[in-house]
A and B are shown apart, each in its own frame.
Chain A
């Protein structure tokens, strides 16, 4: 298999009558039915002007239809941009414009808000798997820019520190090496049933979808509302006999606390994969007791590199252990190096510094961001390294341990959040004079990330209403980026260089 188009074509022919996708309402599609849906939509995309190399937005709730949309873009050799249907329309229209998408595949319910925010466009009705949907046709003047010198598969937008999200360009090669590694490492076969928990605009979803399809497995599409409800998640594992469970540690912790796990056997599970956050020690022994037949893996990798290190969690762990598990060893296709501030080193024991990653899985670059590409990508020893911004330590077994971030990016529930993007959004409210957003660790073991937004207002203005601030921010940023707390300050503390003094903000209670 060389690319995602070949991957899905092979799966359609090898696994024809088997079930490929099932949703929570028990709607399902066989591989052949999925192929018919993809063929039909591909024809429509071409009819309405899509050609190889075009970038095509997909703004749909997670569904059989949305998978069909993503795969149709792959089939016509376009690059898809999965959009969060719950994000503000202003953010999605920014992304569509930044990516210069020629088409957006969406639902009749979501189309009006998107169209309202965009330049002249035309709407056409199409059916996806017999469900009425819509295509938005866009005309961007620089059509020659649409072709990029890369074999692009998709573009994932992540939070950007300057106030707008940035597009991470993933090539077919980037995705394929990770998918093939996953199939081999977790022994995926056609009897497997994979959970698809992450939304499609989140990089975790790539594994579930393509490793699942490539092995002929069954993929269970789980709704975002169910992901927030651990009682439903715990029930789904038994109901669909899920064998591979891939989620953030937060989701797992919530299942242990609220999922009424005693009611279920969960004996179908053989691989439990964690990613997106540091894995906490405390719940592992309980998980091991409940899911004794399963293997547990911690996966690490920024969107820019796909998964690049992994670690199989030990069968037993000392409850007194306070340091988190390592992020592991590099995957077979990844080359890691450490920048200790003075020079770049190969991975050797005792080193501490920023983790750099090279190899086939490293992104093509950020779209339209030459300066950012220059600072994030580094040529060294004839290889192109991505600077992860993660400070790590190498132990005497050459295992990589995460220590901290170099910048102001935080992770909450697996989502990447640039605090600067929240500040930039607060600054667009005319009454706000200054804004400073910090991360605060809370919870009994200080392992939960809370985001606290401090703000001051212009003269003659007072404290702003919290519900108002929340709804204002939700017109700019997705709900997962919303601060947990807003603190009004008459005056923002400043450093000697007149910048927001984050050290002082950290001291506020």
Chain B
């Protein structure tokens, strides 16, 4: 697992306390569409990503297309760096 995905995974499990076991959280596990992450946690995740990877989300970029899996999050972060 890449560095980005691995740190996001740690954040999701340890800080947001997602109700899922580490081995069940894969690159393509749906996060928002499956309701593993609720809307407030999604906003906390955005704050974390901005701080950790020194990127900035535009308001319309906070959506399932960019946040629904570790894979999509990594793609989005890389596109912004």
Contact of A230 (CB < 8 Å), options: B19, B43, B60, B63: B43
Report A242-257 CB contacts with B as 1/0, cut-off 8 Å: 0000000000001001
Kindly identify, within residues 473 to 497 of chain A, every residue whose CB is under 8 Å from any CB belonging to chain B. 482, 484
Contact assessment for B59 and A467 in the assembled complex, using a CB-CB cutoff below 8 Å: no
Contact assessment for A235 and B59 in the assembled complex, using a CB-CB cutoff below 8 Å: yes
Using known A-B contacts A466-B19, A467-B34, A470-B35, determine if residue A229 contacts B62 with beta carbons closer than 8 Å. yes
Residue A408 lies at the interface, judged by CB distance under 8 Å to chain B: no
4 A-B pairs closest in CB distance: A231-B59, A232-B59, A258-B43, A228-B39
Kindly identify, within residues 29 to 81 of chain B, every residue whose CB is under 8 Å from any CB belonging to chain A. 34-35, 38-40, 43, 46-47, 57, 59-60, 62-63
Number of interface residues of A (CB under 8 A): 16
Contact assessment for A231 and B63 in the assembled complex, using a CB-CB cutoff below 8 Å: no
- Cα distance, A234 to B58, chains bound together (Å): 12
Report A460-478 CB contacts with B as 1/0, cut-off 8 Å: 0000001100100000000
Report A236-271 CB contacts with B as 1/0, cut-off 8 Å: 000000000000000000100110000000000000
Using known A-B contacts A225-B63, A466-B19, A467-B34, determine if residue A231 contacts B39 with beta carbons closer than 8 Å. no
- Cα distance, A484 to B43, chains bound together (Å): 17
Q: Which residues of A contact B60 (CB under 8 A)?
A: 232
Contact assessment for A231 and B57 in the assembled complex, using a CB-CB cutoff below 8 Å: yes
Contact assessment for A229 and B59 in the assembled complex, using a CB-CB cutoff below 8 Å: yes
B35, closest chain A residue (CB): A470
12 contacts between A and B (CB under 8 A): A229-B43, A229-B59, A229-B62, A230-B43, A231-B59, A232-B59, A232-B60, A234-B59, A258-B43, A258-B46, A470-B35, A484-B38
- Cα distance, A225 to B59, chains bound together (Å): 12
A231, closest chain B residue (CB): B59
Number of interface residues of B (CB under 8 A): 14
Q: Which residues of B contact A466 (CB under 8 A)?
A: 19
- Cα distance, A258 to B43, chains bound together (Å): 7
Q: Which residues of B contact A232 (CB under 8 A)?
A: 59-60, 62
Q: Chain A residues in contact with chain B, CB under 8 A?
A: 225, 228-232, 234-235, 254, 257-258, 466-467, 470, 482, 484
Contact assessment for B40 and A254 in the assembled complex, using a CB-CB cutoff below 8 Å: yes
Using known A-B contacts A254-B40, A258-B43, A466-B19, determine if residue A231 contacts B35 with beta carbons closer than 8 Å. no
Q: Which residues of A contact B39 (CB under 8 A)?
A: 228-229
Additional 8 contacts, C-beta under 8 A, given A232-B59, A258-B46:
A225-B63, A229-B59, A232-B62, A235-B59, A257-B43, A258-B47, A466-B19, A467-B34
Q: Which residues of B contact A235 (CB under 8 A)?
A: 59
Q: Which residues of B contact A470 (CB under 8 A)?
A: 35
- Cα distance, A229 to B35, chains bound together (Å): 16
Most A Cβ at <10 Å: residue of B38, B57, B62, B63: B62
Task: Give the distance to chain B from A232, nearest Cβ to Cβ, in Å.
Answer: 4
B58, closest chain A residue (CB): A231
Contact assessment for A231 and B62 in the assembled complex, using a CB-CB cutoff below 8 Å: yes
Q: Which residues of A contact B62 (CB under 8 A)?
A: 229, 231-232
Most A Cβ at <10 Å: residue of B38, B43, B47, B59: B59
B38, closest chain A residue (CB): A484
A257, closest chain B residue (CB): B43
Task: Give the distance to chain B from A508, nearest Cβ to Cβ, in Å.
Answer: 17
- Cα distance, A312 to B39, chains bound together (Å): 30
B59, closest chain A residue (CB): A231
- Cα distance, A231 to B57, chains bound together (Å): 10
A225, closest chain B residue (CB): B63
- Cα distance, A258 to B19, chains bound together (Å): 24
Q: Which residues of B contact A482 (CB under 8 A)?
A: 35
Q: Which residues of A contact B59 (CB under 8 A)?
A: 229, 231-232, 234-235
- Cα distance, A75 to B74, chains bound together (Å): 52
Q: Which residues of B contact A231 (CB under 8 A)?
A: 57, 59, 62
Q: Which residues of B contact A228 (CB under 8 A)?
A: 39
B36, closest chain A residue (CB): A467
Q: Which residues of B contact A258 (CB under 8 A)?
A: 43, 46-47
- Cα distance, A230 to B62, chains bound together (Å): 10
- Cα distance, A258 to B60, chains bound together (Å): 14
